[in-house]
A and B are shown apart, each in its own frame.
Chain A
Amino acid sequence: MYRENSAKRVSGKIGKIFPLAFMYLFLTLLLLICVLPFLLVLINSTHTSIDIVTRLNLTFGTALSENYEKMQSSVNIWQGFGNSLMISVPFTALTGYFSALTAYGFSKYRFKGNKVLFWVVLFSMMLPSQLSIIGFYQLNLKLSLLNSFLPFILPGMANATAVFFLKGMIEQSIPDSLIEAGRIEGSSEIHIFNRLILPCIMPGVATMCIFNFVSSWNNYLGPLVIMTDNAKFPMPVMIAMIKGLYQTNYGALYLAIAISVVPIIIVYIFLSRYIISGLTLGAEK
């Protein structure tokens, strides 16, 4: 009850800054900007390529099945769909757990080289990927991992962005005394992490899971270069394959994009509602 009241008082005061109508107008405008292109993708997936490039389509067309056939004749999109799932789901799981663990190690244990190693983590993100793809190829060749999903799953354990984010979160919101309490109760260190820390930072972990699922789902150049087996290609590579050489098959392309976006929307709806809503002050009721 105490919390509820304070939240209301805060929101009541700051809320006056923005006249209500203006705020909703502004939010709706932003919403339109963000959603319209999706509508465009959906609409265009039902039009022929010629129609798409020659006019602005605002209503649904009749070429959906034609586009579907065109798309399936170039690639087996559902296989790509399955491949993408098999990469992105375990990747996301590894990212979630190990980023949290690494972040926890960095922020709550004082050891030699802590700071230096943390900067190493950061530096690892700074090399542009367009070229390191060559080294990445050579590495996977040596490890006989070409055509395997592992090169795209295992790096989830070493996700610097997520570690960076969760490190901040742990420092901000996990008091040392909580850990001490766990220790004194006799829990082992890993137990403390699993049972105490991880659940507490779960909003952050889940947030990182969403973002990393999306980036893994949309990974294109890596799989394209590393994989040689057609049957292993994930969605983005298959979508790129739909583009013709001289002429882009826009209809089929938009349909494929539409299909590829659906699972991310599901994952998002699935995760986001629960994760961040609890964090806002009196916003939901």
Chain B
Amino acid sequence: MGMNMKKWLSAMLIGTMLIALIGCGNSTVNEGTAGGDDQQPVEQEEETGSVEESQQPEGSEAEGLSGELNIWSSGEELGRFVSGFNQVYPDIKVNITVIPNADFLAKLTPVMSSGQGAPDIFTGESDYVKYLVESPFWEDLRGEPYNIEQYTDGIWPYVVSVGTDSAGAIKALSWQASPGSVLYRRDLAQQVFGTSDPEAVGALLASNDKMLEAAATLKENGIAMFASWQDILNMQFSNRQTAWVEEDKLIIDESMLDFMDMAKTIYESGYDLNVDPWSPEWSAAVESDNTFCYVLPSWGYQFVVKPAANVTMGQWGLAQGPVPYVKGGTWFGIYKDSPQKEAAWKFMEYVALNAEAQQSYAVEYGEYVSLKEADQALAAAEGEEVLGGQNLFEFYNDQMGKIESDLMTPYDGQINNAFLAAVKVYANGTMDKDAALAQFKNDVATQYPDLIIE
């Protein structure tokens, strides 16, 4: 060993210490900025600015509004609006942090309780958006300077309804809406039913019983009707008369009980691929020749069918099932103590209320958006190649028109999971219906001990 080794060692040592030093140095420098020191002047700027701004008509140019917005999002979609937003407001820097949805609440919870380090804007997934809407963390958008009520007529009512709390405060909006559809294969429909027309196929699927009949026919031709029966649950939630919880009481709607039997029939008769949604085989069914349809809302087209359809390009169609439905979606609101409310509102306005911005977003990403005006303009444009020329905006506009309000509760995420688990064990024969329901009630009671369960 000797000299070489020693030299080498000292080099490593210096390297290690250097790294450590940089690490510590950096962190102290940034602490100051993250702590909010530099947010102080901006805040004041905002407040004086807001008076002037609010008196000006909508759509005015940026009045030198500047600042730095921190946004937490459970998906990447909000980030897609940033470059467009910066063309209008070049001095507002937007930092988007994408937090995996599975851990979104774990990250949000301590920040909300301490009130420090909170983002200016954060999103809420459909599973828990109602919980956040009912909590006091999002700004009520009815007051100054937002005056949201003057715009709500332009938004699909369902989107506003989800963002409205039980006292009527409007707290969250969305750039998207997620109306439902049955995404079916035109070629297989032609082959088995003699028609590929969305209306005609829709008529064949007009009720749960008719769906099962169609499934039996398809089965005779060696085709599985559904990729997964679990997808149908998306639709069945809109088939209910009542929400899961009303006046702190768990209510199991009749339609949910019916669905349990439907799922069992599908499972036992082999009408689906017997896979979980998002599993490899489920995704691969887009290009298969033995799977008829996915029961998925608009995002299902955007994320599942469109990117995978090569061989089946042009062979897909959108039809309505037994009921029009909506499922999923992401909402977002302004944190109540944000020092940047004005800038935050400008961003929100751009994403949720600017029809032009939404329109170009919808064209680029194939997503259905929340403003009626944008969707209606797009309905007049050309249809989708994947859908054989069918215009998805035209189809979904029609669906949205049929859905006024929502049946969502703050408890939905967990109750839906528990119900799905109960349907599974009933469908595959592990438990009888009573036992499955008892398990469901027990699960709900475990998660929400304050609910009344009979």
Contact = CB atoms under 8 A, between A and B. Distances in A.
A and B touch in the complex (CB under 8 A): yes
Interface of A: 49-50, 52-55, 74, 85-87, 89-90, 93, 133-134, 137-138, 141, 144-150, 153, 221, 224-225, 228-232, 240-241, 243-248
B27 A90 contact: no
Contact of A230 (B19, B95, B110): B95
Contacts of B75: 244-246
A53 B76 contact: no
B20 interface: yes
Interface string B299-329: 1001110011000000000000000000000
Contact of B27 (A85, A138, A149): A149
B34 A147 contact: yes
A246 to B, nearest CB: 4
B313 to A, nearest CB: 13
23 contacts: A49-B307, A52-B280, A74-B98, A86-B20, A89-B16, A89-B19, A90-B19, A93-B20, A133-B106, A137-B114, A145-B27, A148-B27, A148-B31, A149-B23, A150-B24, A150-B27, A224-B103, A225-B106, A228-B117, A230-B95, A231-B30, A245-B74, A245-B125
Contacts of B287: 54
Contacts of B111: 137, 228
Nearest to A54: B284
B48 interface: no
Contacts of B27: 145, 147-150, 232
B405 interface: no
A231 to B, nearest CB: 8
A33 B286 CA distance: 32
Given A53-B283, A144-B35, A245-B76, A230 B26 contact: no
What's the interface size class on B, roughly? 35 or more
B97 A228 contact: yes
- The secondary-structure label for the interface of chain A is helix
Contact of B16 (A93, A144, A146): A93
A177 to B, nearest CB: 28
Ordered nearest first, which 3 A-B pairs have the shortest CB separation? A245-B75, A86-B23, A148-B27
A178 to B, nearest CB: 23
Contacts of A133: 106, 110
Contacts of A134: 109-110
A52 B280 CA distance: 8
A54 B304 contact: no
A97 to B, nearest CB: 12
Contacts of A54: 280, 283-284, 287, 308
Given A146-B117, A224-B103, 13 more contacts: A54-B284, A54-B287, A86-B26, A89-B16, A90-B19, A141-B117, A144-B35, A221-B103, A221-B106, A228-B119, A246-B303, A247-B303, A247-B304
A224 B72 CA distance: 12
A55 B23 contact: no
Contacts of B70: 228
A86 B22 contact: yes
A147 B30 contact: yes
B291 to A, nearest CB: 13
B142 interface: no
Interface in B1-60: 16, 19-20, 22-24, 26-28, 30-31, 34-35
Contacts of A74: 76, 98
Contact of B299 (A148, A232, A246): A246
Contacts of B103: 221, 224-225, 240
Given A86-B19, A224-B107, A147 B31 contact: yes
Contacts of A246: 75, 299, 302-303
The winner among B76, B99, B109 for most chain A CB atoms within 10 A is B76
B23 A153 contact: yes
B79 to A, nearest CB: 9
Contacts of B299: 246
Interface string B73-106: 0111100000000000000000101111101001
B236 interface: no
Contacts of B280: 52-54
Contact of A137 (B26, B31, B110): B110
B316 to A, nearest CB: 15
A243 B104 CA distance: 13
A152 B292 CA distance: 51
B447 interface: no
Contacts of B24: 148-150, 153
Contacts of B76: 74, 244-245
A241 B100 contact: yes
B116 interface: yes
Contacts of A90: 16, 19-20, 23
B104 to A, nearest CB: 10
A247 B22 CA distance: 37
B322 to A, nearest CB: 24
A91 to B, nearest CB: 9
B31 A50 contact: no
Contacts of A146: 31, 34, 116-117
B109 to A, nearest CB: 7
B81 to A, nearest CB: 15
Given A224-B106, A232-B30, A245-B75, A50 B307 contact: yes
A149 B26 contact: yes
Contacts of A240: 100, 103
Contacts of A241: 97-100
Contacts of B284: 53-55
A137 B302 CA distance: 37
Contact of B116 (A86, A141, A225): A141
A138 B307 contact: no
Given A55-B284, A241-B100, A228 B34 contact: yes
Given A228-B97, A240-B100, A148 B22 contact: no
A144 B34 CA distance: 10
Interface in B377-434: none
